[in-house]
Chains A and B, each alone.
Chain A
């Protein structure tokens, strides 16, 4: 058996450095792979701009159009719930903010612990619901590959271990915290090599989408 304190020290130290390096270098490579391809010049007379519509779509595509919402309400609502729950747990939990403050020197106000606790619990339930939906919905099941289930697991683990650590359901605490940090490291390592990249690239994709349509005078 490894000592929980040694385990915690390892995940906080060398393991974290490795995970962060893989994440940063991996994502840099991914972004270079995208942008270095460039785009061909467009000689057609534009009906509208590219930058404005592109930036607009980066934000506006977060909301589903009414027709799609009506046809796939579960996807839209549960998808939103788990993303928001995850972001609340990640960005608005006071200990997380303090960690950022300690490392980067910047901080922001958090939410009371019970609120974050509830958000995490909801996010976990929503993620489980998404998994059930994925295996039941004919289209989602058809599209799904091993990667979809892997990334689902890697996304669930930080929420789950965080929740268990917060409620002292894993003992001793250093082990709980160590497992939580390790789960995040696994997520970081997988990030550049899986669809998890969408957390960054979706905004690039949305920009291109908005720009391509915007140039033709269509709000995308």
Chain B
């Protein structure tokens, strides 16, 4: 391992500069509206959590090194140098108080994509040695063991055997030439085993050939969360290698938000080439199969349901209508939260916040915004499609003494399959 240092951090900042960043920093008028878009500010009212302020180190490097005027100002000693102490101070702002939900990016009146820049700023933070312990640990486990939670394929194998016994269906592993390679998140393997059973039953009905890979079953990407292209690239390459080896045409990202951002949007740029396969979030495929009539369901949920859109899926990936089509397929009393889809509010746990133990209190504060949204609608259950959101919703609701169950959309669909064997 090479030595982490301020200079390496600054170098990473420099490498992340592009025309968009320069246009963004040139345009900020300090209006403060981004604060009103941020659950971490809205629920704490602490001005230091203003999104654009979280980018001050990156902005300083841009101004001092990428503008003529900034260079003059620096030479005259008129601007603050970026120091190691400054980056240490900003660690909390760039990690603990930002889930990279991107809501500020849609609100900024001059058009600054703040989330895009936070992602870039984290590259510098990692290189300078100012990433949170929790994320460093998760990234190290992902690289070494193959999963951020440290679980190995044999853990999944146990679950596969359970699902096979319960459903009588085969869970294919390393099947050459299957059409779809299925990825899972560690969280699903440990906390939500219902997911694997649900997709097995759905795929059986829809009639696709699919497989898991013993070499790349993990969809999550700790490199994306911590903000390290090197780590992110290695994790994406595992999936790409497995997909290419198995010769699949499609890869399915599970009910996880950042995994989709990682494999769908960042992955090809990390390996610097397009994939020879397509990538889908499970929800996209379910809706395609609904539209084509391959997915047949019966009966509808009758209780009052609402839905939480994962930021990575809705605002950051444009999967918005699909989950609503699916809800309407199996629910007769579905009510959207007031601000939903691209305007939804983050649960508070994304962007690595949930893997950063130090941020627990702040994460629960940010959840209050979601709580307020939920209270407006007063649902009997909440449906979502990201394991991190789901865990945060469950934890947050429990802490606030609200007994509202949270379910995954894929499982709910599976419960309504026409040939469902059990309830």
Contacts and interface: CB of A to CB of B under 8 A. Distances in A.
B68 A29 contact: yes
Interface string B128-149: 0000000000000000000000
Contacts of A137: 32
Interface of A: 29-30, 33-45, 47-48, 57-58, 61-62, 64-65, 67-68, 71-72, 75-76, 79, 137-145, 148, 192-193, 195, 197-198, 201-210, 212-213, 216-220
A210 B111 contact: yes
A61 B268 contact: no
Interface stretch (B14-22, B179-187, B206-214, B415-423): B14-22
Given A205-B112, A217-B317, A218-B318, A142 B342 contact: no
B30 A72 contact: no
Contacts of A72: 32-33, 36
Given A48-B318, A67-B343, A220-B106, A143 B24 contact: no
Interface of B: 17-24, 26-33, 35-37, 41-42, 45, 47-48, 50, 52-53, 66-69, 105-113, 116, 264-269, 271-275, 278-279, 315-318, 320, 339, 342-343
A205 B24 contact: yes
Nearest to B263: A44
Contact of B33 (A68, A193, A197, A218): A68
A197 B67 CA distance: 13
A44 B23 contact: no
B315 to A, nearest CB: 6
Nearest to A35: B19
B30 A195 contact: yes
A143 B316 contact: no
Contacts of B41: 139
A173 B85 CA distance: 56
Nearest to A42: B269
B343 A30 contact: no
A138 B53 CA distance: 13
B318 A47 contact: yes
A34 B22 contact: yes
Given A34-B19, A34-B22, A218-B342, A143 B113 contact: no
B26 A30 contact: yes
A86 B29 CA distance: 16
Nearest to A215: B265
A43 B36 contact: no
Contacts of A217: 317-318
A143 B50 contact: yes
A117 B180 CA distance: 68
Given A67-B343, A71-B36, A79 B31 contact: yes
Given A33-B66, A64-B109, A140 B28 contact: no
Contact of A216 (B19, B48, B53, B316): B316
Contact of B26 (A141, A198, A212): A198
A130 B313 CA distance: 37
9 closest Cβ pairs, A-B complex: A217-B318, A206-B111, A142-B47, A43-B268, A139-B32, A202-B110, A208-B20, A201-B26, A209-B111
A61 B67 contact: no
A33 B22 contact: yes
A14 B111 CA distance: 37
Given A45-B278, A67-B339, A138-B45, A201 B109 contact: no
